[in-house]
Structure 1
Amino acid sequence: MAGNCSRVLCGLQAVDTELTVDSVEWCPLEGCRRLLACGTYQLRAAEDQAGLNADGPQVRLGRLYLYSFSDNAADPLAEVQRRDTDAILDMKWARNQPLKIISSDSKGQLHLLMVNETTAELQPVASWPAHHYEAWITAFNYWQTELLYSGGDDGLLKGWDTRMLGTAIFTSKRHTMGVCSIQSSPHQEHVLATGSYDEHVLLWDTRNMKQPFADTPAQGGVWRLKWHPVYHHLLLAACMHGGFKILNCQKATEKQEVTVLASQTLPHSLVYGADWSWYSPTRPSSSWSFAPNGVEAPTADQYHLKVAEESPAPSLERISDHSEEGPAEERNRVELKASFLPLTEDMRSQLPPTAKACDPILYPGGTDSDNILLATCSFYDHVLHLWKWGAN
């Protein structure tokens, strides 16, 4: 993992999703960590639009897949369920509690909403102009959820405080092209990762947003960033035509370089979605060992999957879109408050402050020989890829 922890990336399975695919999310629930959700986004071809107004919006098709991982099967991912929908832009597993949503649109505005869990309706809270062009991404600070960030096609990264909306608390021009990925670290309070079409991953200390403390070339537009749910230093980057990369940010806070631990390109396609699995394939998923006495995880009925798509449906968020392109040109993105909180406060409080990446207590299963699973999706060849990152 870190230092002399040698690991090799190998492909376990490639699944044809039939429609072009752009998002993957592993379930974080104890007892459900074998489950993987996959969302697709397909523009209906011109020859399939007979009878439709040629000047009207293109039809966007989607499908939501649910897969289950098996340790011993020749093909580890088995399809459990599928549901045809409108095009799926993004999705997150979330706690079953009142949720705030922050979304962005093609006019550069941000919208703060609440979800009514009883009626599955969105209730507007506030809207305000944030960017001169399309606002590609917006995300909450996991540690201070009254704070949020946004990135736009104007190349600006901005910070906002929901207690005084309308005025940015900072504006950064450090990215040179559209900012399209933002994720607050769930492990380190003041660490923020951002990605851009300028093909760079930047790491920031949110207490000083004048300059990033790390700048890593990604050789591809950085569409999605995911911190590992347990190893605080691992960052997964979906880099579009540059494939995907596993970054080691262990020494970044010490003003040393971020290193690339693994990299994979997928010719003739674009990698949009990427996610780490919570499941350890070498031991039962119940052997979670954050602390000697263990930590009781939330039950399955406390979580559900939130999907961002283009038409209203029960328990689903709706965001509109008017793009003529694929998801790289999407005009709306959505991020849920507490949408991906890998460690609960109880879990985090029991981790030793100086724990190293290879410490046994940090990974479900408990040893550095455990294999780490991750999934990526490549757009044009409509393939969901399952990978194992294991000891050499």
Structure 2
Amino acid sequence: MPWKSRTRSLQVFDTEQSADTVEWCPVSPHHNVLVCGTYQLHKGVRVRTEDVAPSRTGRLYLFEFRQEGSLCPPLTELQCLDTAAILDLKWCHVPLSGKALLGIAAATGELQLYSLSDSQEGSCSLQTLSSVQVGAERLALSLDWSTGRMDSSDVRVVCSDSAGCVSVLSVAEGTLTTLSQWKAHDFEAWISAFSYWDTQLIYSGNTPLILWSVTSVWDQPKETFGGLGVESNQFRDHYDEQVLLWDGRNMRQPLSESAMGGGVWRLKWHPTQQHLLLAACMHNDFHILHCQQALEGSEGACPVVASYILHNSLAYGADWSRLALDKPAPCSPNATEPKESLTESRGHLRIQYESPTASFDTSLEDDAGQYIPESISAHSSKPAAGPVINPDHDASSLTCLLASCSFYDHMLHVWRWDWTPDEIQQGSQQ
């Protein structure tokens, strides 16, 4: 399937501490709200005859994305909270009591809950709501909400920790209450997730990955298989892990296996386009896979339709925004062979990479850290061919807003992806 694919950096933000997780708010009207969590390890020291244990600190950043013009950076920092180190954070998919709720898995072993509140000035902020410690001397490693298919009834949270335990908690009137906890793994349980098609089923892992039934005895797993990096697909009753696509009705054999390299850390399905999967691949950047043929039963790996290659450290956090971008991105000349170039444009650094299957045309900040408007960095580019549509509609041409973060270089990137099949472009030019 031919296509024209382009990723373009919109803004880069230095989080100062190691960044490991980002999430766009899924609750309307806050689709332009972004949070980022950091994790900083402070090594222990020896004071006289005693060893001081290492400590872990973090920060919770709250941003707003605005489309006010090309001369202003689109991302505005609204709030920065010093916290314990953050291992994972996720928004509840639906509002509770009229507000968007954010859950955080912290290095103190706590599951923390924040609410997003609007101010009279038209801005917003995060307010502490509730917290529960899932266990002493352990790290809370991941969490997931039971509301992935936008069902607000019986809202629960699942959390996994460094002791190999999995906890299920209820959320009633903004208060977290532990319902169950069991020893699920001999080592760290790096990931936990609800099946969005049956919230009585929970997946947890590192290796092996285990399927649990909430209605069964906790020490009797329903299924056992291998892996790390899990998210249930709200559109289809399938399951993915290590970029293996599974049918939830038959977990013995994956539908498809796509070798990404670098170690897949996080997977995110597109919120409205059921065939698009975003993968954060640690040592191998960020990639978008097109999974339609695999989900329809065809064998073979899922093709990579776009990649974002500008992070210089471990690719950890990544997420799609539901916000529709107003204007199409300018396009770069078609490439006939892979190339990578660094050129100067009006005193600004311009990094461009193009390949026969996908084009990555990216503008960054200058050496002084000033935002470079897209109209300046791409002044020689022509307008994109073909229509750019709202990704909420089921169509073959898309423009998407994404965020990603990397660890040791403590960087948050906000970027866009424009995707148009060649046949669409050719039809618009006739």
Native 8 Å contact 1:280 1:370 kept in 2 = no
1:320-335 paired onto structure 2 within 5 Å: none
Q: Match of 1:169? A: 222
Residue in 1 aligned with 2:63? 67
Instruction: Report whether the alignment pairs 1:21 with 2:73.
Output: no
Relative distance call for 1:53 and 1:375 in structure 2 (3 A) is: farther
Amino acid at match of 2:319: D
Q: C-alpha displacement at 1:107, in angstroms? A: 2.7
The residue type paired with residue 298 of structure 2 is K
Which sits farther off after the overlay, 62-71 or 72-81?
Answer: 72-81
Does the CA-based 8 Å contact 1:231-1:362 persist in structure 2? Answer: no
1:127 corresponds to: 181
**CA distance in structure 2 between the aligned counterparts of 1:240 and 1:107, rounded to whole angstroms:** 23
Check conservation: 1:280, 1:365, Cα contact below 8 A.
Answer: no
User: Does 2:201 align with 1:157?
Assistant: no
Q: 1:192 aligns with which of 239, 246, 249?
A: 239
Deviation digits for residues 250-297 of structure 1 (CA, Å, limit 9, x no counterpart): 1002223311111233564101100001011127xxxxxxxxxxxxxx
Q: Does 1:256 align with 2:299?
A: yes
Question: Is the contact made by 1:282 and 1:371 (CA closer than 8 Å) also made in structure 2?
Answer: no
CA distance in 2, matches of 1:366, 1:194: 25
Alignment of 1:202-351 (within 5 A): 202-253=244-295, 254-257=297-300, 258-266=302-310, 268-282=312-326
CA displacement 1:211-232 (0-9 Å, x = unmatched): 1111111111111100000110
Aligned partner (choices 161, 183, 191) of residue 105 of structure 1? 161
Q: How many residues align?
A: 299
Distance 1:365 1:76, change over 3 A: farther
- Secondary structure of 1:217's match? coil
Task: Say if 2:40 and 2:57, in contact at 8 Å, map to a contact too.
Answer: yes
**Most deviating of 364-373 and 75-84:** 364-373
* SS of residue paired to 1:251: helix
Contact residue 388 and residue 399 of structure 2 kept, 8 A: no
Measured in 1, the distance between the counterparts of 2:184 and 2:8 equals 42
CA deviation string 1:69-104 (max 9, x = no partner): 122244211111211111111111113166322222
- CA distance in structure 2 between the partners assigned to 1:133 and 1:19 by the alignment: 27
With over 3 angstroms needed to count, the CA separation of the structure-2 counterparts of 1:249 and 1:231, relative to structure 1, is same
2:230 matched residue in structure 1 = 182
Q: Is the contact between residue 285 and residue 315 of structure 2 (CA under 8 Å) also seen in structure 1? A: yes
Structure 1 equivalent of residue 416 of structure 2:
388
Take 2:196 and 2:161, find their aligned partners in 1: how far apart are those partners? 22
What displacement does 1:364 show? Answer: 3.9
**Per-residue CA shift, 1:147-181, capped at 9, x if unaligned?**
111112xx212111100132111112xx4xxx331
Distance in 1, matches of 2:161 and 2:24, equals 26
Segments of structure 2 that go 5 or more residues without pairing to the other structure are 97-151, 328-385, 421-430
Write out per-residue CA displacement over residues 39-63 of structure 1, whole angstroms, 9 at most, x where no aligned residue. Answer: 111112557x97996252x211111
TM-score (norm 2): 0.64
Higher RCO structure, 1 or 2 (CA under 8 Å, sep 6+):
1
Q: Does structure 1 conserve the Cα–Cα contact (< 8 Å) formed by 2:8 and 2:417?
A: yes
Output the amino acid matched with 2:169.
L
1:371–1:390 Cα contact (<8 Å) kept:
yes
Question: Structure 1 residue aligned with 2:74, among 56, 76, 88?
Answer: 76
| Structure 1: runs of 5 or more not aligned | 196-200, 284-357
| Cα shift at 1:117 | 3.0
Asked if the contact 1:359–1:367 (Cα under 8 Å) also holds between the matched residues in 2, the reply is no
Q: How far apart are 1:116 and its partner, in Å?
A: 4.0
* SS of structure 2 residue aligned to 1:145: strand
Assess, with a 3 A threshold, how the Cα gap between structure 1 residues 161 and 44 changes in structure 2: closer, same or farther.
same
> How far apart, in 1, do the equivalents of 2:169 and 2:64 lie?
32
Q: Which residue of 1 aligns with 2:132?
A: none
State the AA in 2 paired with 1:170. Answer: E
CA RMSD of aligned residues (A): 2.7
Paired with 1:87 and 1:370, the residues of 2 have a C-alpha distance of 36
C-alpha separation between the residues in 1 aligned to 2:298 and 2:5? 25
Q: 1:118-144: per-residue Cα shift (whole Å, max 9, x none)?
A: 5x3x32222222222221111100111
Change (3 A) 1:360 1:7: closer
* Structure with the higher fraction of residues in strand conformation: 2
Kept in 2, the 8 Å contact 1:360–1:367? The answer is no
- For residues 156 and 51 of structure 1, the distance between their equivalents in structure 2, rounded to whole angstroms, comes to 43
